Chain A
């Protein structure tokens, strides 16, 4: 099975712009989660989608949003970029069975976003 794929792998944007990142989960997986990784804050949960519905959301401002499509692919969007949004954005997929018991997340390579 192919792993989780993320596009693009690298992005450079300027403050005030917006950006859209894409994630394709492992075939058959229905849950997609997004995480932000920075040297200062480590790995922080952004949100999780299951069957096109947001199942959980982390403590990030409303500038961060996401969605999931019927084929389980997911996108996240960051509007009005700030310098502090520079980070590695990771996508993870899992089977996503209801209740999430025994579920394991598998991570993609990430998108490295640099905000100038």
Chain B
């Protein structure tokens, strides 16, 4: 069965620090990959997605992620975080070309950015 692992459950950073959140998935076939963010009191929002092509994808608010197929990874990065990036971040996958949109989510990483 598909699964998604996010290794960091809680991350605390100071403003301007660099961020990298790990995400690994287990599935032998081709996948679509997503990062969603949930700001305090707000709904899940799409940060970025990867379907095919350039494995380095750029999203909103300066976030980017790199798909490394050999490592089954899709890590999220940001060179310099801001206090407003405090949120919970979820990695998710769906099967490429599948007949369903079912998203498998990781357990989430809670990021706290200290001013």
Interface, chain A (partner B; CB < 8 A): 31, 33, 35, 42-45, 48, 55-56, 58, 90, 92, 94, 96, 98-110
Contact = CB atoms under 8 A, between A and B. Distances in A.
A66 B106 CA distance: 24
A35 B100 contact: no
Q: Looking at chain B's contact residues, is the secondary structure mostly helix, strand, loop, or mixed?
A: loop
B46 A48 contact: no
B99 A99 contact: yes
Interface in B79-98: 90, 92, 94, 96-98
Interface residues of B, number: 26
Contacts, number: 69
Contacts of A94: 101
Nearest to A90: B44
B98 A99 contact: yes
Q: Which of B32, B49, B97, B102 has its CB near the most chain A CB atoms (within 10 A)?
A: B102
B44 A107 contact: yes
Contacts of A109: 42-43
Given A42-B107, A43-B90, A104-B49, A31 B101 contact: yes
Q: Which of B36, B45, B97, B103 has its CB near the most chain A CB atoms (within 10 A)?
A: B103
A45 B97 contact: no
Contacts of B90: 43
A33 B102 contact: yes
Contacts of A98: 99
Contacts of A99: 97-99
A100 to B, nearest CB: 5
B102 A48 contact: yes
Contact of B100 (A48, A90, A104, A110): A48
A96 B99 CA distance: 9
